[in-house]
Structure 1
């Protein structure tokens, strides 16, 4: 079985409060984009499961990998049904880029195991398993636009459709510390209710919607601010950092995109390539 876990972008991101568990409450919109890893399952040749990695480097050991943890989670829950597998993950989505690549891999793994072994789990149950793996993971179970609150796990579906636009992703080869991103944020009520995002056109978002992490992160990495400015200068109707960075995106009319120049190596991808 072969699937292609996709990335997401954050449209708006407000840090609204500090929680008693040490995390922060946030409000954001998750929107899936067709920038994908590849994940394959085949029956194990013997009684031992394995995980092989290719593509971009993945930090950490096998036990900390979210795909491996997703497999172990359902294998522990259903030991008579979930059999040994050879798992192959090819990474295209950069780690630490604010696009949820690891979370997507984990959620797609849960969905694949559910189908492959006919576990019969509904989406609500799969989301509860996904939450054990990470705050962003439940979003990728249904994988459709959603308003997210809490730590990102409280999801409300949104009727948001950007298929008429070109979304250009720019992924500088920088790792932004999440601790750094939070260090300059003072939690406050969201100035705009992102549940109402569909009442505005993307052309209006710049005046109403922001990412609270940008000021702190871009002060530390001015190259990110420069890339954002290039996106706007070359016609983006809206541009933003995704999550805590380092990836950025620009939303363009169909057929348009930016030519980016940067002192930092980067990759770029368009949802509607010419």
Structure 2
């Protein structure tokens, strides 16, 4: 039996713009994506002798069957590589928030592809793994590569960007459920009044200017989601009152993140929000090559 583990990091959207809708229903986006320090630990064992795929998950009650993206990643890998299974066991030690707009499922699937490529010594390049991962979801290729990237198309066109200037990141997930398809449908029915200034964000990243990066944070989905769940805007205000350079929602929500230059202010914001919300985290940015050996 062989075994290996990696850290599977969450992501946030520094910017998120929806630029169009395709005839097949998919939406074109333009967003700057950033890996962050909080992560699951994904361990894969091969050669268990069962010829089956088995998935176990700790710290949560997610389904551990073929509806889970990590399980489907193993199926896809075996099928694509024409690799007979000698028994695969996947264990996810879950720390990333679930259904949070942070690519928690996508990053676990990405980790499974990376680990199986290593354990079966199939020699796929990162680009080939990313191409495979796209079949599972638009965020999976980014989760394989990590770091700071411009994401276009439906999320599959990725351009590496300079590393974001380091910041303290406070995340807060309110206890509400957000349907991503419902948010996209709502966006189709309104005229987007404000959009992120992507060129200005790219310039701020090139200059390594955290203040400028913070000023350019914007997510076109936030007004839609916050109309349904006003606590999202409340959390943003609280973070900024506690010293955040700026705070916005990530993805389709509901998680809000704030960028802080001062660690003490970030810790105070976390403590204050934790009095009301259960899922509050303090972390930082994570560089490219985010899936790291555990």
With normalisation by structure 1, the TM-score equals: 0.90
Question: What SS class does the counterpart of residue 42 from structure 1 fall into?
Answer: strand
2:183 to 181, 184, 191: 181
Over 3 Å counting, the alpha-carbon distance change for 1:209 and 1:143 in structure 2 is: closer
Of residues 212, 219, 232, the one that matches 2:227 is 219
The alpha carbon displacement at 1:203 in A equals 2.0
Partner of 1:31: 34
SS at match of 1:127: helix
How many residue pairs are counted as aligned between the two chains?
270
- Structure 2 distance, partners of 1:30, 1:122, is 22
Task: Please list every run of at least 4 consecutive aligned residues from structure 1 whose deviation after the TM superposition is greater than 6 angstroms.
Answer: none
Q: Contact 2:205–2:213 (CA<8 Å) still a contact in 1? A: no
Aligned counterpart for 1:52 among listed residues 49, 53, 56: 56
Displacement after TM superposition at 1:129 (Å): 0.3
2:290 maps to which residue? Answer: none
The partner residue of 1:136 within 124, 128, 139 is: 139
More helix by share: 2
2:172 to 157, 170, 173: 170
Cα distance in 1 for residues equivalent to 2:191 and 2:204: 21
Alpha-carbon RMSD:
2.2
Mark the runs of 5 or more structure 1 residues left unpaired by the alignment.
none
Change in 2 beyond 3 A, CA 1:227/1:190: closer
User: Pick from 97, 110, 114: which aligns with 2:113?
Assistant: 110
Q: Give secondary structure in 2 for the equivalent of 1:4.
A: strand
Among candidates 281, 284, 289, match of residue 269 of structure 1: 281
| Deviates most, 149-158 or 254-263 | 254-263
Match of 1:76 in 2: 79
Structural mapping, 1:249-260, within 5 Å? 249-255=257-263, 256-257=265-266, 258=269, 259-260=271-272
* Structure 2 length-normalised TM: 0.84
Stretches of structure 2 lacking an aligned partner (at least 5 in a row): 285-294
Q: CA 1:77–1:205 in 2, change beyond 3 Å: closer, same or farther? A: closer
Residue number in structure 1 paired with 2:94: 91
Q: Distance in 2 between matches of 1:215 and 1:2?
A: 39
Could you tell me which residue of structure 2 aligns to residue 196 of structure 1? 203
Distance across 2 between alignment mates of 1:242 and 1:191: 13
1:238 corresponds to 2:241: no
1:9 has 2:17 as partner: no
Query: Kindly tell me: are residues 253 and 64 of structure 1, through their superposed partners in 2, closer, same or farther at Cα, counting changes over 3 Å?
Result: same
Give me the whole-angstrom Cα distance separating, in 1, the residues matched to 2:165 and 2:177.
28
Tell me if the contact between 1:81 and 1:119 (Cα under 8 Å) persists in the aligned partners.
no
Shift of 1:207: 4.6
